Amino acid sequence: MTSDDPQRIGDCLLAGRLGVGGQGVVYDAYDGQGRRVAIKVLHPGTAGSGEARARLAKEVTAATRVASFCTARILGADLETDRPHIVSEFIDGPSLRRAVQDSGPLDQDAVHRLAVAVATALAAVHGAGVVHRDLKPDNVLLGPDGPRVIDFGIARTEEMTLSATGGIVGTPTYMAPEALDGRRAGQAADVFAWGAVVLYAATGRDPFHAGSLGAVMYRVLASEPDVSVLPEPLRGLVFAALAKEPDERPAARSLLLGLLGQDTLDEGVRVAAALRPAGRAGTQGLGRVAEEAFARLSPQDQQRVPEVLLRLVGTDGNGVRTADRTEFGSGAESVLAALSQAGLLGVFPKDVRITRPGLLLAWPRLREWVEAEQPGLLVHAELREAARRWERRGRRDTDLFHGPPLEQAMQWAATGRHHLKLNDTEAGFLAAASALTRRRARIRRAVTGGLAVLLAVAMIATVVAESRRVELARLLDQTEARRLAAYADDIRQSDPVAAMRLSLAAQRLSDVRETRAALFSSLVQQDVGALDPPEPGAKYALGTGGETLVGAGTDAIWVWEAATGRRLRTIKAPGLAAQAVSAASRHAAVRTPKGVFLWDLATGARLPGTFGAPGDSAQLGPEGKVLVTSSGSEHVVRDVTTGRVMLRVPAAAGDYQVEIGGDDRYAATTVQGGGTVRLWDLRTGERIPVPAAGHPVTDVAMSRDGKVLAFSGGGKTSFWNPRTGRRIAASAEDTVDGNVVLSPDGRLAAVLGPYGLEVMRVAGARSVLRRGSAVPDAESLRFTADGRTLRFIDSTGRALSLDVGPFAGTRSLGGGPLLRAAFSPGGTLVALQRRVEGDRAVELWDVAGRRLRRIEVPGPRVEGLQEDALAFSPDGRTLAIGPYDVPAVVLWDLTTMRRAGELRWDAGGIYDLAFTPDGRGLAVAGVERDRSVVRIWDVASGRPGRPLGVQAEVVAFGPGGDRLSYGGTRNGLLSLGDGAARDVPGMESAVALAFAPRGGLLATGDGNGRIRLWDAARGVPVGPATDAHTFEVGKVTFSPDGRLLATTGESVRLWDTGSGQAFGMADLGVSEVMDVAFTSDGRSLRVVGGDGAILERPLDSGALPAVVCRRADGGLSPDDWRRYVSPEVPYRATC
């Protein structure tokens, strides 16, 4: 679970995430009876959508009509709450896709049983009058009693009509031809998907997979998959199910008849029940995990378990809280370690928490303990906080309980407790409060007098009152700051400017971890503006450079400032009925039932004439100088000012499209699905030679200065210099293609493909930003004039702004894409290898973008790409280069830029290198004579030390040089003093290691994207493993003060080591990360990407506010402060 996940939904407590999709999240949870369930919840960003709620309601309707033996039974639903959700039966088993990915394709018997199971489910689904419409390997769960078909999110019952949009719904690689070409998808479409699912189970490959949506559609519509791997009769049934025409496919019951010789569902259920996922047992429930961990404890520790856990329960007994480590005595350490090892607790240097709230309902023992203690939980909470405050402020009498609060706490402590025990601070607090009460009683009986005494008492009382006022104000500021920081994170996409300003206000009130994280998120968030549709029912377009938003509706046209939403102009247009609008700097083209009309936005006047016939589409050039109208027979390009026709292109039944670029001087035509591109100079009418792209081209774009030409299609995007005909760069195969737009200076490109929006740096054709949510309208993409902001209109009509400035002006280590890169300590130098086949050289650069040296790596020239090991000494003066397949390490002196030596042995290769903290030794993890060996070499003499007795692919030294962590084949800690190696349970498959600067913590990352913190001295985990990345962790590294941890994978993430939580937003906006480093003062983080670009982000909380103030164009105004901030907190300027 992440910090954004709720603890509770309805009467269920959550225990983890089962999956995440575009619409919502599916949680593992427990209901009020302790029953394990699955809860599907809409994302906060989509929960307000009527369409999303309607889809969820349709899923409930469809799933409840289907027999429970073939799907996950619906247990409840609430579609009216702020978090619409469905509660369903928990199916304990992997999806078919996960099972195949983990264990390979199914054997013939298992494929047969799977085919029977899914056919049985479809027969039941169709018999209930339901069409699933999204059957795929991900939606088939291999449960303990046989496969189940789940996710009826886009299902249709017989009473329902087609979707109002008529758009494609489903997963293209498993969609029937009729669903892709716009026809109604009925039961035959599910049968088609059945055939594809069975073929996937037998081969491990999606039968119609391709690199782009267009290619997938072509394969589904035109190609015949190979079914020869299947035995008869399954082969013939799958072949028939994959027929292109729906009326040629068998019904689901006919499939059963062909597989079993009968079409009864009972027999299908019986055969399917024998199918089990290979090599994968079901996941244990939380209650069983907790009970097994409890059973392993000693009797003394078992008695301490309720004392520990009840301190982590909320005051109402229905949620969990985070407790300070000081609340637990030293006797609880073994319990904390055991429960942390079991994944039940997160135990961090500063605090402790239950990581999965569902434990409160899942474990019967804990439920009993909570029920017994519940009446006193609130009393204990008040006592706990008062005692901590008393201890923190020097045990002052003024902080002690007296009167009714003391009497209530004493009564609970004496008779109301069952399992909770007072810690030393709480017991001391009650003892001191009782003693003070007795002393005050004696004092009240004494006779006192004298004006001087009364004056002294009054003065003391004034000082105490002022002190308490200041402390209360500080606590109020801190509480409000945390609330504002959390709220800022909640609204980052819906109102990004307000989020940035709220984070500034939070930091101004209190400099705590949560406010620092929120401020950092404001620095790296992609969204910097969101303008809701100002006029209901209007059609919208962005003007040139995205500076203005133009709307056209009934009888009027409006112009707004896109960044602020300020209305600039209203143009009355009686009789206007806008169907679509295109806008540029000065003009708007509006498509109406009568044709296309043009308006001058500066004067408000309509230009004379009608452009194009009714039904023609219209698009202004990016600069607004030309207008393209398109009909079924031709495209016409006109000069907007004079109306002169500049170019006519036959549309050939819609096969051609026209794109305008180069300051509206050039027009390019493309053949859909082909690759032929023609380019015309609109001023002269001449056709210009175009370089051959070398891949299919479905879209073209040209920069404003005409120096960059972009081709996109066939799973690839390439960039060319049209004047020289030379290619600038091209993306990798099967990566990104779609509608493409270039920034005015040609540095960046925005590509809208089937899976979302990507921003690419033209120089290396590498993605620097990916966005799958809020997908833009293809024609609305606009870069601002400075190229630092990308604006678009999303599917809901909102005008969104993305900050792409950090990618437009980054420093670059030019020369082509990188294979590997490593920062020196402090991030001042970069050693890198290029993605060039056969090139074994290492280049040395400084972060200013200057190449210092090219170093040839020893060894034979190799075919393909060769990634070698790189390591800098702690002082940054020596670079070690270890070829993967050569038994030698080259040492390079970076002060003289000369070769300093070589470490060589008989035969083998190198996995990893690590210098000792003093730089005198170098650990080499590699292969010697076909044996995996770790050995420490003396750098000065070149002499090898003795093998350390461990096998590893990665190594890291502790800061004192007395410990070595190793990972890969074996994983654990090695004491260099006595040579004792200890493999650590739970540290399996580590691929990245790092010690904190002070040595107390060890961070590991594994091949599945998980990271974990460890107590380096004891080798026990500090909290549970965290799913940090989608794929393998590339690197883990601590900040100089050890407070932050940076990890890399498909992106860069930061973590607060004290709490174990993510520090700010998850993604810094860098894709294909090569390496990451903190500067030596810890004030900045540097990242080098796969195209050689270096991005730097400030981390210093003192410097961040000024940067965020510039991004947000100021802080909260006094009016906004009153709107967002508690009235008890007075206004403070933030910028």
**Pairwise CA distance, residues 391 & 545, whole Å:** 60
Angle between helices 496-509 and 513-524 (to 10 degrees): 150
Sequence letter at residue 593: P
Average pLDDT over residues 812-830: 88
Of 145-159, 181-195, 895-909, 1015-1029, the least confident: 145-159
* Domain annotation for the chain: domains and CATH numbers: 1-90 (3.30.200.20), 92-280 (1.10.510.10), 286-313+321-336+347-388+398-446 (no CATH), 542-654 (2.130.10.10), 662-797 (2.130.10.10)
DSSP of 957-1009, one letter per residue?
Answer: E-TTSSEEEEESSS-EEEETTT--EEE-TT-TTEEEEEE-TTSSEEEEEETTS
CB-CB contact of 10 with 87 (8 Å): yes
Least confident stretch, 136-140, 246-250, 809-813, 1072-1076: 809-813
Is a pLDDT exceeding 80 seen at residue 520? yes
Q: Decide: pTM greater than 0.75.
A: no
Strands 527-531 and 799-803, how do they pair? antiparallel
CA distance 696 to 501: 46
Decide if pLDDT at 1071 tops 70. no
Rounded CA-CA distance 148/73 in Å is: 10
- Find the Cα–Cα–Cα–Cα dihedral 703, 706, 710, 711, rounded to 10°: 140
For residue 273, what pLDDT band results from cuts at 50, 70 and 90?
Answer: low
Among all chains, which residue has been given the structure tokens 């902080």?
399
Q: Look at residue 872 in the predicted model and tell me its pLDDT.
A: 97
The three-class DSSP label of residue 944 is strand
Question: In this structure, what token pair is assigned to residue 293?
Answer: 């961990």
The alpha carbons of the chain give a radius of gyration, in whole angstroms, of: 33
| Distance, C-alpha 438 to centroid of its chain | 59
Label residues 71-85 b or e (16+ Cβ within 10 Å = b). bbebbebeeeeeebb
Show the tokens assigned to 1030: 């989608």
Decide if 310 contacts 366 (C-beta within 8 A).
no
> At which residue do the structure tokens 């020596």 appear?
878
pLDDT at 63 over 80: no
As a whole number of angstroms, the distance between CA 249 and CA 194 comes to 11
Q: How many CA atoms lie within 13 A of 501 on its CB side?
A: 20
> Token pair of 1121, please?
């402060």
CA distance 1 to 1125: 29
Residue 993 vs residue 256, higher pLDDT = 993
Which residues make Cβ contacts (< 8 Å) with residue 577, sequence separation at least 6? 554, 592, 593
Inform me whether the pLDDT recorded for 214 exceeds 90: no
- Whole-number pLDDT of residue 167: 37
Q: pLDDT class for 861, splitting at 50, 70, 90?
A: low
User: Which residues lie below 8 Å from residue 261, measured CB to CB, with a gap of 6+?
Assistant: none
Q: What would the pLDDT profile of 329-359 be if each residue is shown by its tens digit? A: 777 888 999 999 889 998 888 899 998 999 9
With cut-offs at 50, 70 and 90, classify the pLDDT of residue 46.
Answer: low
- 1014, β-bridge pairs: 1002, 1021
Residue 993 pLDDT > 80: yes
- Flag whether pLDDT at 624 surpasses 70: yes
Return the SS3 of 17.
strand
Give 417 or 574, the one with higher predicted confidence: 574
Q: Is the pLDDT of residue 446 over 50?
A: no
Q: How far apart are CA 129 and CA 252, in angstroms?
A: 13
Distance CA 856, CA 833 (A): 11
The DSSP code sequence of 1059-1098 is: T--B-S-S--S--SEEEEEE-TTSSEEEEEETTSEEEEEE
Helix (H, G, I), strand (E, B) or coil at 84: coil
Instruction: Report which DSSP code applies to 314.
Output: -
Q: Which two tokens stand for residue 552?
A: 């056209």
Tens digit of each residue's pLDDT (9 = 90 or more) over 537-556: 899 999 988 999 999 999 99
Percent of the chain with pLDDT strictly greater than 90: 33
pLDDT digits (tens, 9 = 90+) for 486-505: 888 888 888 899 999 999 99
User: Given the structure tokens 């594994």, which residue do they identify?
Assistant: 1006
Question: What is the spatial distance between Cα 1072 and Cα 674, in angstroms, rounded to a whole number?
Answer: 30
Burial class (CB in 10 A: 0-12, 13-18, 19+), 854: exposed
Confidence band (pLDDT; 50, 70, 90) for 65?
A: low
3-state secondary structure (DSSP) of residue 277: coil
Q: Is 24 or 946 the better-scoring residue by pLDDT?
A: 946
Q: What is the pLDDT of residues 369-402, one digit of tens each?
A: 988 888 888 989 899 999 989 888 888 888 888 8
- Which structure tokens are listed for 1122? 């009153």
**Cβ-based neighbours of 942, under 8 Å, separated by 6 or more:** 901, 902, 903
- 942: its two tokens: 């070149």
Q: What is the pLDDT of residues 670-729, one digit of tens each?
A: 865 556 788 889 999 899 888 888 888 888 899 988 899 999 888 889 999 988 889 998
As a whole number, the mean pLDDT across the chain is 84
pLDDT at 265 over 60: no
Average pLDDT of 1011-1030? 88
Is there a contact between 175 and 189 (Cβ–Cβ < 8 Å)? yes
Write the single-letter amino acid at 545.
G
Name the CA dihedral angle for 119, 125, 129, 133, rounded to a multiple of 10 degrees: -80
Nearest to 799 by CA among 548, 474, 1120: 548
Beta bridge partners of 618: 629
Asked if 835 and 817 count as a contact pair (C-beta separation under 8 A), the reply is yes
Name the pLDDT band for 449 (thresholds 50, 70, 90). Answer: very low
Q: Report whether 363 contacts 286 (CB < 8 A).
A: yes
Calculate mean pLDDT across residues 1073-1088.
93
What dihedral angle (degrees, nearest 10) is formed by the CA atoms of 303, 308, 312, 317? Answer: 20
End-to-end Cα, the chain, rounded Å: 35
3-state secondary structure of 83: coil
Q: Which pLDDT score is estimated for 268?
A: 56
Amino acid at 936: I
626 and 637 in contact (C-beta within 8 Å)? yes
Beta-bridge mates of residue 188: none
Which pLDDT belongs to residue 549? 94
The SS3 call for residue 415 is helix
Q: How high is the pLDDT of residue 934?
A: 93
CA-CA distance, 71 to 703, in Å (whole number)?
A: 53
Kindly state the helix (H) or strand (E) to which residue 385 belongs, with its residue range. Answer: helix 364-392
CA distance 762 to 730: 8
- Rounded distance, CA 477 to CA 1128, Å? 9
What's the order of all strands across the beta sheet hosting 726-730?
Answer: 699-702, 709-713, 716-721, 726-730
Asked if 837 and 864 touch (Cβ cutoff 8 Å), the reply is yes
pLDDT of residue 1090: 83
Question: What would the mean pLDDT of 1017-1023 be, rounded to a whole number?
Answer: 88
The band of 862, judged by pLDDT with boundaries at 50, 70 and 90, is low
For residue 404, pLDDT beyond 60 = yes
The two three-digit tokens of residue 880, written as one number:
């070690």
Sequence-distant (6+) residues with CB within 8 A of 1083 are 1098, 1099, 1100, 1103
What's the mean pLDDT in 925-930? 83
pLDDT at site 274: 58
pLDDT value for 158: 39
Residue 557 confidence (pLDDT):
96
- Residue 1065's pLDDT band, with cuts at 50, 70 and 90, is low
**Per-residue pLDDT tens digits for 244-258:** 998 899 998 888 888
Burial 1036-1066 (b: 16+ CB within 10 A, else e): bbbbbebbbbbbbbbbbbbbbbebbbbbbbb
**Residue 451, pLDDT above cutoff 80:** no
Contact between 1075 and 1061 under an 8 Å Cβ cutoff? The reply is no
Confidence grade of residue 461 (pLDDT, cut at 50, 70, 90): low
pLDDT in the model for residue 280: 47
- Report the pLDDT value the prediction gives residue 79, as an integer from 0 to 100: 82
Is residue 971 scored above 70 in pLDDT? yes
What pLDDT shows up at residue 151? Answer: 77
Q: Could you give the CA distance from residue 644 to residue 659 in angstroms, rounded to a whole number?
A: 18
CB 954 within 8 A of CB 925: yes
Spell out the residues 6+ positions from residue 363 whose beta carbon is closer than 8 angstroms to its own.
286, 287, 290, 291
Higher-confidence position of 155 and 714: 714
